Amino acid sequence: MMPTDGHSIVDTLKVRDGRDVEEVVRAAIANEQPLEIIGHGTKRTIGQPMATNAVLDVSALNAVSSYEPNELIITAQSGAPLADVQSLIDSKNQQFAFEPIDTSKLLGVYGNGTIGGMIGAGLAGPRRIRAGGARDHLLGAHAVSGFGDGFKTGGKVVKNVTGYDLCKLLTGSWGTLAVMTEVTLKVMPKPESERTLVLSGLDDLTANRAMTTALGSPFDVSGAAHLPNSAFRPATGALAEFAAQGRAVTLLRLEGIAASVADRAGSLVKALASFGTVEMLQDAASAAIWSAIRDVEPFAASGALGAWPVWRIVCPPASGGALGQVLARETGGDMIYDWGGGLIWAALPPKPDALAALVRQRVEAAGGHGSLIRASEETRRNVDVFHPQPSGIAALSERVRHSFDPKVILNRGRMVRGAPA
């Protein structure tokens, strides 16, 4: 069986509608031919190398089926380009509140992928702490299971408890449960203005405390990130000024109507007085900073750390500072903290195993989990890309996967190393 991870030449089937998807999956079952599911293929290098030998390409399912700004929903086919959908909702002053990550700079690929890829990966940006993740914004989906059967789940309204919420499972399942053909997403109004408060020179532990103070305040902080001083940072992009000044920065974002943002900024400055003086960034400058953090630009594939493996670590937010500090000290790596300490992007000096055992031990001790978001195919073949689960959860997760795709037709082996091939 030929792996597709190295992008060898394999059959690529470009489906035109949900019926095509059913036909392709049914034929794949009959022929025991596992399929790799792709939209634009921008996140193909995330996950274990797969044991698939044909590609099901949904990029032609690219229509926006309906967009109703007053209902706060949009329905789009899974292959709709994310950039196009985002500019459409932006024209009505709306957005996906969970700030989907654009992984193209981090992974060194072109393009921002599709709506289906956004949900399949489920990677949310800085506003996750306030607005929730991709899982919280997927309202309904049409998909084709590994039985070759089309099914729908959820609906086209924001409030719905009819039947099991399969949307939650589809989000972040990396195409291993079903091939989504159409999704309905919640959209939210864009804030009228934003401001970022900048604290300087804090060590990781103190910064973590400052972020905890801010997030525990009533001032509705919608972003809390910390960039330690680092010898590695490229002096380009929105974060260049900080890098050039050679100082750690702790960033706190406030969004909303202008009067409210100004009022809360004043209150938050007072609440943070013990952490030093605060500088303020407004609107466009503030927005640029947060998109650079969202997209993990300091670890861009084209930058100084481009060859380093990158971990995405999620942990209880108040323990992030201590965890990151230990990881930096023990590995010589570089950390970026988001979600008030609850998300750590860790770039580690290259090692064949990406220091997986060490990272996992430290992360588990802090009550978190880590996935290896960027690494060579060789490395990903030899380490668990997604955090290994305790045996009971692993067994249940496998039964859940089996309930959608018993023949392991869809993205075989992407989420679990050593899965049946």
DSSP 8-state class, residue 122: T
Q: Which residue stretch of 101-109, 244-252, 273-281, 389-397 sits at the interface with another protein (rule: CB under 8 A)?
A: 389-397
How large is the C-alpha radius of gyration of the chain? 21
Structure tokens at 274: 């013990």
Q: Report CA 8 to chain centroid distance, whole Å.
A: 27
Asked whether position 152 contacts another protein by CB under 8 A, the answer is yes
Closest CB to another protein among residues 13, 280: 13
User: Which of 83, 109, 318, 358 is close enough to bind another protein by CB under 8 A?
Assistant: 318
Query: In 235-288, where do the E strands start and end?
Result: 249-256, 278-282
- Provide CB contacts within 8 A for 73, sequence distance 6+: 67, 139, 156, 157, 158, 184, 185, 186, 187
Under the binding rule (CB under 8 A), the answer on residue 321 touching another protein is: no
Among 242, 290, 299, 404, binds another protein (CB under 8 A): 404
Stretch that binds another protein, among 40-48, 101-109, 234-242, 312-320 (CB under 8 A): 312-320
Name residue 288's amino acid: A
Q: Does 150 bind another protein (CB under 8 A)?
A: yes
Residue 109 is given by DSSP the state: -
Position among 1, 163, 284, 420 found at the interface with another protein (CB under 8 A): 163
* Residues 144, 22 contacting (CB under 8 angstroms): yes
Closer residue to another protein, CB minimum distance, 147 or 290: 147
Q: Report the site for another protein in 35-94 (rule: CB under 8 A).
A: 54, 57, 60, 68-72, 93
Measured CA to CA, the distance from residue 126 to residue 123 in angstroms comes to 10
Distance CA 65, CA 67 (A): 7
Distance, CA of 266 to CA of 382 (rounded, Å): 51
Q: Which is nearer to another protein, 120 or 237 (CB)?
A: 120
**Stretch binding another protein (CB under 8 A), from 80-88, 113-121, 159-167, 238-246:** 159-167
| Ranges within 204-263 binding another protein (CB under 8 A) | 212, 215-220, 256-257, 259-260, 262-263
Subset of 9-38 contacting another protein (CB under 8 A): 11-16, 20, 23-24, 26-31, 33
Is there a contact between 216 and 289 (Cβ–Cβ < 8 Å)?
Answer: no
Residue 382's identity, in one-letter code, is N
The DSSP call for residue 309 is -
Task: Name which of residues 97 to 126 contact another protein (CB under 8 A).
Answer: none
Regarding 374 and contact with another protein (CB under 8 A), the answer is no
Tokens of 391: 């045996």
Stretch that binds another protein, among 42-50, 99-107, 153-161, 297-305 (CB under 8 A): 153-161
* Position 190 contacts another protein (CB under 8 A): yes
Cβ contact 359:370 at 8 Å? yes
Contact status: 329 vs another protein (CB under 8 A): no
CB of 149 to another protein, least distance (A): 5
Decide whether 351 or 402 has the Cβ nearer to another protein: 402
